[in-house]
Amino acid sequence: MEKSNSRAWIGGILLIIGAFFLLRNTHILPYYFLYDIRFWPIIMAAVGFIIVLNSRNSFFGYLLMLTGGAFIASDIFGVSFRYIWQEYWPLLLIALGIYFLVRKGTSSNDNKSETPLAGKEESDDGDSVDITSILNTTKRKIVSQNFKGGKITTLFGGTNLDLREAKLAEGKNVLDVVVIFGGLNLTVRNDMKVDLNSPVIFGGISDKRFKDPNQVPNHNSSLEVRGLILFGGGDIQGYA
């Protein structure tokens, strides 16, 4: 899946789940229409599905989908999940064993990997970013000399964007952020003009740079941080 479609998938899934439970809670749906199904297994499976779409070799994403799907099947068919777990828990060990064997077999001497390790910083010379962090932490170092902003989506995770070696394009550049139950950290030079225009709900974002009265920001270019921060937070760290 293209990263630019991540928000569309997230929004669509949340819309469908929300509409389903609203119609069920208001008894618009017939009573027999999955009234015994619980909310959290659907969310678990949906989050796993989104993770897999962003990284198809994500074992954690498949595990969330499998676990959520098992609870959903238990609700629909009335099967005791405790009984299934007691009888078939060794399948989890078998799946883990196969996973590690496959991962080892696909490694090569050139150390190339389609998916970077969580928490490992990547360098990016592109003029814009499109970052999606779900249940993990993404670290990105921007070295573009004509940076124009981009999009950052963070759900239950964190995003660290290092702009110390980057230069902004002329004019106003926009970084569109959506942070829900997560954190956003920007590291910039002290002379970079950054405007914070993100509505914050049950959270906070602040500019923690040292204000030097003798240092004049470059008003020919600026970075506007806008979007939504819900149950999350962020900060801007300075660098001389």
Is residue 75 a part of any domain in this protein?
yes
Number of domains forming the structure of the chain: 2
The enclosing H or E element of 92 equals: helix 90-105
Residues 153 and 181 occupy one common structural domain: yes
pTM summary value: 0.58
142 with 162: CB under 8 angstroms? yes
pLDDT value at position 153? 86
Residues 128 and 234 occupy one common structural domain: yes
Residues 163 and 84 occupy one common structural domain: no
The top-scoring range by mean pLDDT among 4-8, 14-18, 81-85, 91-95 is 14-18
Q: What one-letter code names the amino acid at 208?
A: K
Residues 81 and 129 occupy one common structural domain: no
Taking only the tens place, the pLDDT of each residue in 188-203 is: 888 888 888 877 777 7
- Tokens representing residue 36 in the block: 């015994």
From CA 29, how far away is CA 38, in angstroms rounded?
15
Confidence of residue 109 (pLDDT cuts 50, 70, 90): very low
Residues 130 and 75 occupy one common structural domain: no
Residues 144 and 85 occupy one common structural domain: no
Residues 163 and 191 occupy one common structural domain: yes
Among 77, 105, 133, identify where a domain stops. 105
Q: Residue 188's domain spans which residues?
A: 121-239
Taking only the tens place, the pLDDT of each residue in 46-89 is: 877 776 766 555 566 777 787 788 777 777 777 666 666 667 66
Residues 97 and 125 occupy one common structural domain: no
Among 73, 105, 137, identify where a domain stops. 105
Among 105, 131, 158, identify where a domain stops. 105
From CA 155, how far away is CA 197, in angstroms rounded?
20
The enclosing H or E element of 52 equals: helix 39-54
